[in-house]
């Protein structure tokens, strides 16, 4: 695998994905019963924004740095607070040198009885993941293909929790395998929440994904998409999320959050967003 998330950590796509991740975790924490997070493409879990890769791409400057420095309206600021607080906790006061990936954000919101399984197959990222999880008895790092892990580790014994599906999409088959894989996991664990991230480089693959999910038999699927005006040709400028069994508050929160993110993260007012139900509530 050639994909290196160090180039992209903290960009607009991470901001959207991780803001929604934290909202789901906040909801899970709202009940006393323990839950489990299964992150099937965890990467290294923590990224140094001072290294050459991050400095060269600079994507985090148009993502988390812009958001952290923005004057947000009160409702959006409240929704984003758990995410921004977790980012701030990883950094020296007043500076942004570390970006916490999904692993670190999940750990920040785990309670003593909650659990995390983080999977990564690429050797360097897997080694970094194991290092970043060392000493945390709530968490386990596995060097395993994420798609295999999804089949193997649902349902968790807690019967509450979240599966994060965030492949690199370097493999042309990743879009194609998502609907059937997600439907199979849902059949095994129908009450779980599943959060799927995908890039939008053109509409063919995302629209085909949506059509297949509508016909998947999964009864409740929420879709959110965000586009920003790309500052450089060829740079990713749009992405989407699919949430199976979203918390009952999430659609309302996204209706507030998406316009704010589109305005803050886009250059020259070029942002746009979409929020709709593929199946279920309208």
Residue 129 sits at the vertex; the CA angle it makes with 89 and 46, to the nearest 5 degrees, is 30
Q: Which helix (H) or strand (E) element contains residue 102?
A: helix 102-109
100 — pLDDT class (breaks 50, 70, 90):
very high
What was the pLDDT predicted at 233?
Answer: 66
Nearest Cα to Cα of residue 206 among 169, 243, 240: 240
Q: Is there a contact between 13 and 137 (Cβ–Cβ < 8 Å)?
A: no
**How far, rounded to the nearest angstrom, does the alpha carbon of residue 120 sit from its chain's CA centroid?**
15
Measured CA to CA, the distance from residue 277 to residue 220 in angstroms comes to: 8
Catalytic residue among 39, 62, 166, 174: 166
Q: Residues 86-103: what's their mean pLDDT?
A: 92
Q: Torsion angle of alpha carbons 57, 59, 65, 68, nearest 10°?
A: -160
Number of folded domains that form the chain: 1
Question: Residue 2 above 50 pLDDT?
Answer: no
Q: Residues 10-18: what's their mean pLDDT?
A: 96
166 has catalytic annotation: yes
Residue 181 structural domain: 5-279
Q: Residues 160-189: what's their mean pLDDT?
A: 92
Q: Residues 4-31: what's their mean pLDDT?
A: 93
What was the pLDDT predicted at 148?
Answer: 92
Q: Are strands 161-165 and 36-39 parallel, antiparallel or unpaired?
A: parallel
What percent of the chain lies above the pLDDT cut of 90?
Answer: 81
Question: Residue 192 above 90 pLDDT?
Answer: yes
CA distances from 186 to 13, 26, 65, 110, 211 (A): 25, 22, 36, 23, 17
CATH of residue 67's domain is: 3.40.50.150
């Amino acid at each position: 695998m050639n994909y290196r998330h160090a180039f992209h950590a903290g960009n607009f796509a991470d901001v959207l994905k991780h803001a929604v991740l934290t909202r789901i975790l906040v909801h899970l924490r709202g009940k006393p019963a323990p839950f489990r997070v299964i992150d099937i493409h965890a990467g290294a879990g923590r990224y140094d924004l001072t290294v050459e890769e991050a400095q060269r791409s600079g994507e985090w400057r148009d993502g988390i740095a812009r958001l952290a420095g923005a004057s947000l309206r009160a409702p959006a600021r409240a929704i984003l607070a758990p995410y921004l607080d977790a980012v701030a906790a990883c950094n020296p006061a007043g500076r942004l040198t570390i970006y916490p990936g999904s692993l670190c954000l999940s750990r920040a919101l785990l309670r003593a009885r909650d659990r995390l399984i983080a999977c990564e197959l690429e050797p360097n990222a897997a080694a970094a993941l194991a290092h970043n999880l060392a000493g945390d008895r709530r968490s386990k790092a596995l060097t395993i293909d994420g798609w295999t892990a999804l089949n193997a580790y649902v349902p968790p014994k807690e019967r509450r929790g979240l599966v994060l599906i965030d492949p690199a999409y370097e493999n042309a088959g990743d879009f194609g395998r998502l609907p059937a894989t997600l439907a199979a996991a849902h059949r095994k664990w129908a009450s779980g929440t599943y959060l799927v991230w995908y890039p939008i480089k053109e509409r063919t693959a995302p629209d085909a994904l949506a059509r297949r999910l509508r016909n998947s038999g999964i009864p409740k699927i929420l879709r959110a998409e965000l586009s920003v005006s790309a500052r450089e040709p060829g740079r990713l400028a749009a992405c989407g999320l699919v949430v199976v069994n979203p918390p009952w508050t999430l659609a309302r929160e996204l209706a507030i959050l998406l316009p704010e993110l589109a305005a803050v993260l886009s250059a020259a007012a070029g942002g746009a967003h979409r929020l709709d139900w593929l199946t279920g509530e309208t």
